[in-house]
Chains A and B, each alone.
Chain A
Amino acid sequence: MSIGSTIICLLGALFMTSSAFGQAMDAPTDLAGTGYFRDQDTLPGSFRFYQQLPGGESGFWGMGPSRPNLRRSSFKIDAHDDVVYYSPEVRCQKCHEPQTKDLHYLRMGITCVQCHRGQPVAGVYQYYSPLNPIRRHAYVCAKCHEGATPSFASYMVHEPNPIASEAQGRFPLLYYAVWFMLILAGGVFVIFLPYTVFWWIRDLVAKLTRRPSHGS
């Protein structure tokens, strides 16, 4: 590198540093993540902030996923600390069986602790948890999904069974979209499968009786 370009780089660095020092940080005016996580967003107990993060109740007239009942344990550094029979030796699936029905776990063979990390397992909203929504995309998703954003991270890995009534509350759009498609598909088969069978029989009768089958 020539001396000239070195000087330009140094000057540039100096300029950027001075401008960063020269401005006061504005307090966040909305409740979405700012990235200044220690001071602004993630004070312990700020539950309601997380209910309104991207992917929370706000999107698409309330049709997106919501988290109606955040549990206390989701904010603890050790989510299992008051689980009496908990032991690191017990397999997660023993209690978290419903969380093993998704593409990540079943198809890609990703284990629980690859995202929820090692012992003690932190609650997903604990303020240093890698799965805290303010850094989930960067700390967890981006390990495999290069360039993951907070919006991308609002994909629901442990989605509810879309046809169960549970999904109606937790993820209304998924529930209604899947039921719409099932009724559409079911309707086509319920009407046209029997119809085709009767049609086939009628066609055979017309052929066997050797009468002009088509009324010409």
Chain B
Amino acid sequence: MAVDRTRLKRFPPVQRLWHLGLLVVFMILSVTGIAWMYFETPWGRGLAEQFGGFTGTLEIHRIAGLVMLAGFVLHLLYMLFKIDWKRFSQSLMGPDSLVFQWIDIKGFFAHLGWVFGLRKYPHFDRWSWWEKFDYWAVWWGLIIVGVTGLMLYNPVLTSDFMPGWLLNVALWVHRIEAVLAMGHIFTIHFTVEHWRPSAFPYNASMFDGSVDLEEARHEHPAWVERLEREGRLEGTLVPPPPVPLRILYFVFGYAIILLGLFLLVFAIANAALLTLF
């Protein structure tokens, strides 16, 4: 029986794995970090008790942080491996690259115009400006939160290499960047990827690695046209994933989304109880 190859391959398995690993570790860090941040409130204390009180919570937070940094280092190696060094500039500035280009500035304003009904939907290639922004936001976030996190990992050792009062600064920077990252993921990222009417209720493309061809013609017309022009469209088409896998992606994805919403709602509800500044 022939299977309908109606979907366009968008993410190879290794990139889906990066995203899966990143989100699992991110959620572990979020839960333990928020439990620690809200430790003076009954809600935060209750969260921390799930991990064996504050010592257990901090221990898990530290280990997960190291895992995330190790993942970042692996990602850097993967990136070096992916760059086509012989055709360096095309590799970096090509349409399949996530590097920001002039066209993304134009794409931003074109999209802005579409949102307010002034223009047609922009002619995005493989990556739209917000998809690139989401990718690089993890870089900037991970560098800020990772450097300060490493400093706070062992404060006594850190103060051998720099004045101890830098730990005051590191803790605040770590907190604010973490709140920014969680706030962005649990509101903007979830809405854009899953709750927009055209994506609702769930967009599994980062999990199954493919997007519907017709959807891609709307959302990324320049990409599909480029594949057609180069005669690569047929080779890029894949069948939909089997139903059990689709159920798994949905259940797993919504478990994570609900966990994020749980943290968001209770963090906002308890914000007034925070006793630190």
Binding site for B on A (CB under 8 A): 54-55, 59-60, 64-65, 101-103, 106-107, 145-149, 151-156, 159, 161-163, 171, 173-174, 177-178, 181-182, 184-185, 188-189, 192-193, 195-196, 198-200, 202-207, 212-216
Q: Out of B116, B176, B197, name the residue touching A185 (CB < 8 Å).
A: B176
Q: Out of A162, A195, A196, A202, name the residue touching B172 (CB < 8 Å).
A: A162
Can you name 5 A-B residue pairings with CB atoms under 8 Å? A101-B276, A102-B276, A154-B165, A181-B180, A215-B121
CB distance A196 to B218 under 8 Å? Answer: no
Q: Out of A154, A188, A213, name the residue touching B180 (CB < 8 Å).
A: A188
A103 to B169 CA separation, bound complex (whole angstroms): 14
CB distance B196 to A214 under 8 Å? Answer: no
Q: Out of B54, B117, B180, B188, name the residue touching A202 (CB < 8 Å).
A: B117
A67 to B72 CA separation, bound complex (whole angstroms): 40
CB distance A155 to B155 under 8 Å? Answer: yes
CB distance A203 to B221 under 8 Å? Answer: no
Chain B 209-222 interface 0/1 with A at a Cβ cutoff of 8 Å (1 = within): 00000000111010
CB distance B218 to A148 under 8 Å? Answer: no
A60 to B197 CA separation, bound complex (whole angstroms): 51
Q: Out of A163, A171, A214, name the residue touching B165 (CB < 8 Å).
A: A171
CB distance B184 to A178 under 8 Å? Answer: no
Residues of B close to A147: CB separation below 8 A = 156
Minimum CB distance partner of B119 in chain A? A215
Minimum CB distance partner of B171 in chain A? A103
Residues of B close to A106: CB separation below 8 A = 40, 275-276
Residues of B close to A200: CB separation below 8 A = 191, 195-197
CB distance B172 to A178 under 8 Å? Answer: yes
CB distance A161 to B156 under 8 Å? Answer: no
Residues of B close to A103: CB separation below 8 A = 276
CB distance A193 to B159 under 8 Å? Answer: no
8 closest residue pairs by CB, A with B: A215-B120, A214-B121, A214-B218, A152-B159, A185-B180, A181-B176, A215-B121, A155-B164
Contact A149 to B160, CB < 8 A, known contacts A177-B169, A199-B192 = yes
Is B67 in the interface zone, CB < 8 Å from A?
no
A151 to B157 CA separation, bound complex (whole angstroms): 10
Residues of B close to A195: CB separation below 8 A = 112, 115
A182 to B180 CA separation, bound complex (whole angstroms): 9
A79 nearest CB across to chain B (Å): 23
Given contacts A163-B277, A199-B115, A200-B197, 19 further A-B contacts (CB under 8 A): A64-B165, A101-B275, A149-B160, A151-B160, A151-B162, A151-B164, A171-B165, A173-B169, A174-B169, A177-B169, A177-B173, A181-B180, A185-B177, A188-B184, A189-B184, A202-B117, A203-B198, A206-B197, A214-B120
